[in-house]
Chains A and B, each alone.
Chain A
């Protein structure tokens, strides 16, 4: 909501929207934490933390259910329109992406358990090399998307959408490297496949972060920019629009 935008005449409505929005941001913070923990656990070979991540996925799903219920109730009671309607739409869609990100964290946790069962060999560090770069990048994107959502920051959202390209490139690199390992030594196939699932999961986290960034643009601008060529979006909005898009929540 923009600074010049007033509060609703019915204050209760403001509170309902605000509390729903807070739930969504909390859920986002939780899945970000889940991904961070999952990646760290894999890198350290920390099975306990991986277990913790897997078991915590129910919390993420709890948010999913709770926010959906709140949204349905709000639509039924308030019939939101204009920016209120766009806010709710963006929230519902962001929640779906958060939930999927949560699943990815769980997936990485499971792969960590499998990976740790392989006999330790000197090549494992090599296999993990891309996990750390991709993990860092995916987390940065997720954090950026969350910030953009919290501050309704269109310029920030565009930056996130653009970074998805970097992550995709990293994924291709990782894929090539893993294939090389597997060709050189068939014993590497098992662990390499585990890691393959992990880098794929991280690549998907980036896609979800990009989706969330697109909802922010829809929310603020009322324009659906999904399926628009990234170059045009990034170039024209990113460069021409560094100021005046930041709104206080």
Chain B
């Protein structure tokens, strides 16, 4: 019945535009940056993720939403191997990373190498107690970059990309902790961008910021996606609706629904998604 309506709907599109109308599923998803396949994760005996299958489209923003404890942050942390730091945790399944098509969770894949290619920005701004310049240059130095001129160039570029350059260009030697909260968060984004990652993970990047700083980060995310693929975890549903191209709703460790953001927020197909989005939960 729904299929019938779907067919009718698309037929009407075709009739009116006289050309093949794309289905919502057909766009950029063809080119993936990463893809979780049957990913389960256990903290000891507790399953925090249950056979999650999630595609991450290249140069798109994918948002993970869900109530506290649904596994969205656990998923994000799995992507850059942060769980390696904790003993007693284990994975099943994997996360393919393209174009090399490696499994990020493979024991042979070096987590340091993974983190060079996958940047992460956290809920609370966490600049190092160093100067603005040294914060952004940090990753490059870890990587062994010693050429001062190149460092200066790359730091400036990263700060520009993070929309922070104009505000800090005259105070690059100031302590990063003297910046405002919103500036600190953009500094952390600049620090993540400096190593030119392919995938950027955001874990509640604006929950500690005021609405204006939040808006500037959201604007930044939109601007960044031309160069880097973005995966963002957020408690704020409206933020997911504003910034993302695809949204995944997770609940109790399961991926309940994944769809283009527009579809998910106007016509979710799973009852649980509907209840969560409209505030009919628990």
Contact = CB atoms under 8 A, between A and B. Distances in A.
Interface string B237-256: 11001000000000000000
A236 B8 CA distance: 10
A13 B279 contact: yes
Contacts of B15: 227
B49 to A, nearest CB: 25
Contact of B280 (A7, A223, A233, A237): A7
Given A7-B280, A9-B281, A9-B282, A222 B266 contact: yes
A4 B266 contact: no
Contacts of B128: none
Contacts, number: 76
Contacts of B281: 6, 9
A176 interface: no
Contacts of A227: 12, 15-16
Contacts of A240: 1, 4
23 contacts: A5-B280, A6-B275, A8-B280, A10-B279, A80-B278, A81-B237, A81-B265, A81-B266, A81-B277, A81-B278, A82-B274, A83-B274, A83-B278, A85-B266, A221-B2, A221-B5, A222-B266, A223-B8, A223-B267, A224-B9, A225-B8, A225-B9, A227-B15
A233 B8 CA distance: 8
Nearest to A84: B278
Interface of A: 4-10, 13, 79-86, 221-225, 227-229, 232-233, 236-237, 240-241
Contact of B1 (A224, A229, A237): A237
B281 to A, nearest CB: 6
Nearest to B238: A79
Contact of A232 (B2, B6, B8, B238): B8
Nearest to B241: A81
A7 to B, nearest CB: 6
Nearest to B282: A9
A6 B271 CA distance: 10
B130 interface: no
B11 interface: yes
Nearest to B275: A6
B268 interface: yes
B280 A9 contact: yes
By size class, the interface of chain B is: 20 to 34
A140 B222 CA distance: 51
Interface string B109-150: 000000000000000000000000000000000000000000
B10 to A, nearest CB: 10
Nearest to A217: B5
Given A79-B238, A81-B241, A237-B4, A228 B277 contact: no
Nearest to B281: A9
Contacts of B1: 237, 240-241
Contacts of A81: 237, 241, 265-266, 277-278
Contact of B279 (A8, A225, A228): A8
B12 A228 contact: yes
A223 B267 CA distance: 8
B169 to A, nearest CB: 37
A29 B1 CA distance: 31
Contacts of B268: 82
Contacts of B9: 223-225, 228
B266 A9 contact: no
Contacts of A82: 265-268, 273-274, 277-278
The 6 lowest CB-CB distance pairs between A and B, nearest first, are: A222-B267, A6-B280, A223-B5, A228-B12, A82-B277, A228-B8
A58 B265 CA distance: 37
Contacts of A80: 278
Interface in B214-241: 237-238, 241
Contacts of B4: 236-237, 240
Most chain B C-beta atoms within 10 Å of own C-beta, residue among A8, A10, A81, A233: A81
A225 B5 contact: yes
A247 to B, nearest CB: 13
Contacts of A79: 238
Contacts of B2: 221, 223
B127 to A, nearest CB: 33
B241 A5 contact: no
A94 to B, nearest CB: 18
A209 B280 CA distance: 32
